[in-house]
Amino acid sequence: MRLSQVHTTIRNKINKIRTLLWYRFMFKKFGENSCVSAPFFPYNTEFVELGEQVFIAPNVRMEVHYRIPEGPIGSLRIGNRVVIGQRVNISCCESLTIGDDVTIAAGCYISDNNHGIDPSGPNYMAQPLSSARTEIGSGVWLGQNVAILAGSKIGERSIIGAGSIVTGEIPPYSIAVGSPARVIKQYCFVTKVWKKVVRTEATLKMTI
């Protein structure tokens, strides 16, 4: 066995031990065979529901906030068999749902909230958070350094290209890229291929 394989085996065993002895107690719900890698940066994760067989890579920050100090705290739910890559930041203060079998590449940012932006008020960090429900459907793949902003909804089995910023709704079985992300392809179940889409003023139409 190569030295790199030995290193990986030992690292994985250490992560499993840390998870069993410590990390799993930090969550409201912790699914069977899930694993958290160190270092992990939790904030109010006792309000997070984590599914089964979830893998969390090193340097992930996962946080749940109160929108205002006296208000209810957010609801963060992560489905089964989700892979969360290195340096991912997940921030919730209202409702953030990640479906089953979602793949989240390194450096992604996923949020259902924003700081207040009143220039006549206190500094932006001190202003109450605004929020909107964010949903990521089952089987979605987020490329490296993707940002999913408050109020976004991504349909099942869609793919978001690396470096894209999602600010609205992405239909199921779509490929979207850019800032803001726009759909460039949709899957055709008749021909079994990804088809380019043409953009009209109000709709997206799949090319034949």
How many other CB atoms sit within 10 Å of the CB of residue 71?
A: 13
Q: DSSP letters of 107-141?
A: T-EEESEE----TTSS-GGGSPPEE--EEE-TT-E
State residue 45's pLDDT score: 96
State residue 200's pLDDT score: 61
State residue 82's pLDDT score: 98
pTM over 0.85: yes
Q: DSSP letters of 161-194?
A: -TT-EE-SEE-TTEEEETTTTEEEEEEETTTTEE
Domains in the chain, start-ordered, CATH in brackets? 3-206 (2.160.10.10)
State residue 62's pLDDT score: 98
State residue 208's pLDDT score: 47
State residue 92's pLDDT score: 97
State residue 68's pLDDT score: 73
| Placement of tokens 């904030």 in the chain | 43
Please give the average pLDDT of every successive group of 10 residues along the chain, which has 208 residues: 85 92 96 97 97 98 86 92 98 97 98 92 88 97 98 98 97 97 96 87 53
